[in-house]
Amino acid sequence: MGSSIGFRIARLPHLWRSILDRRLAPLGLTQTRWVTLYHLGRLGEGHPQCDLAKAIGVEAPSLVRTLGQLEAQGLIERRACDNDRRSKRIYLTPEATPLLEKIEHVAQQARREIFDGLNDDELEKLNEWLALIESNGLAIQARDQENPGA
């Protein structure tokens, strides 16, 4: 049984993104664009590009193209940092607000559907278990980095 749990955990992010991709496609959003906007909305404005890249889980250079596309759509602005002109901070434009609200609405509806059959106590327990699994994984990763090849 334990061996199938890992595969299920690995499959869930792909399933989640697939559901949202299909539901957000009518808004003209690709996965990279809605994921970027969603995380920017959650992270808050004025963060450096590197913080946004970390939140999304991509390398900063990979994010640059998507940010350029969002900027061309008039949804974000990139401004140079006051203390480091090479670094850019990201700001949402007023045009992004209604789109972010639609993304959030679609995500909330999908959450309700995907968690159907689980009550609040079960969801809280699931969240605790996933946090424990994540913590264990991060500890393993740190150990492996300290002792490569061990």
Its sign, for the CA torsion 65, 68, 73, 75, is positive
41: in domain? yes
| pLDDT by position in tens, the chain (length 150) | 567 888 999 999 999 999 999 999 998 888 899 999 999 988 888 888 888 999 998 988 889 999 999 999 999 999 887 776 677 899 999 999 999 999 999 999 999 999 999 999 999 999 999 999 999 999 999 999 988 776
Range of the structural domain that residue 25 is part of: 12-116
User: Taking each helix axis from N to C terminus, what angle separates 2-24 and 31-43, rounded to the nearest 10 degrees?
Assistant: 100
91: in domain? yes
Return the CATH number at 61. 1.10.10.10
137: in domain? no
Name the pTM for this structure: 0.77
121: in domain? no
57: in domain? yes
135: in domain? no
**CA 91, CA 39: separation in Å to the nearest integer?**
12
Q: Is residue 77 classed exposed, middle or buried when 0-12, 13-18 and 19+ CB atoms within 10 A define those classes? A: middle
* Number of domains making up the chain: 1
36: in domain? yes
104: in domain? yes
**CA 149, CA 109: separation in Å to the nearest integer?**
45
